[in-house]
C-alpha cells in the first residue's frame, strides 16, 4: 500500500466516526504525533498527583511487577484491551 492509499483509507475511517469518537481519535493522534516532543509541563494536576502517589508508594516498598499490574488492570478494565 502506498502513501496515497494509506491516507485515503485513514480519511475514510476518520470520516465515518461519530463526533465523540472523532474527538477521541484526534486526541490520540495528536498525542502520538507529539510523543517525541512531550513537555512535562503538559501534565495535568491529576496526572502529577497520581505520579506522586505512585512514587511514594514505591518508596514505601509497595511495588509490583509489570505482569502483576497488567493482570489486575485487565481484570478491572477489560474494555481497555481489545
What does the pLDDT look like over 12-60, one tens digit per residue?
A: 988 898 988 888 888 888 887 777 655 666 678 888 888 889 888 888 9
81 contact partners, CB below 8 Å, separation of at least 6: 74
Q: Are residues 7 and 25 in the same domain?
A: yes
**Backbone Cα Rg of the chain:** 18
Q: Are residues 32 and 46 in the same domain?
A: no
- Contact call for residues 74 and 81 (beta carbons, < 8 A): yes
Domain range holding 8? 3-37
Q: Are residues 32 and 47 in the same domain?
A: no
Question: How far is it, in rounded angstroms, from Cα 2 to Cα 10?
Answer: 12
Q: Are residues 24 and 50 in the same domain?
A: no
Considering the entire predicted model, what is its pTM?
0.39
**How many domains does the chain contain in total?**
2
Longest Cα separation, the chain: 53
43 contact partners, CB below 8 Å, separation of at least 6: 51
Amino acid at each position: 500500500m502506498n502513501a496515497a492509499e494509506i491516507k485515503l483509507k485513514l480519511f475514510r475511517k476518520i470520516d465515518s466516526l461519530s463526533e465523540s469518537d472523532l474527538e477521541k481519535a484526534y486526541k490520540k493522534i495528536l498525542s502520538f504525533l507529539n510523543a517525541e516532543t512531550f513537555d512535562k509541563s503538559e501534565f495535568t494536576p491529576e496526572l502529577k498527583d497520581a505520579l506522586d502517589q505512585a512514587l511514594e508508594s514505591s518508596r514505601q516498598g509497595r511495588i509490583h511487577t509489570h505482569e502483576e499490574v497488567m493482570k489486575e488492570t485487565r481484570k478491572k478494565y477489560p474494555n481497555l484491551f481489545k
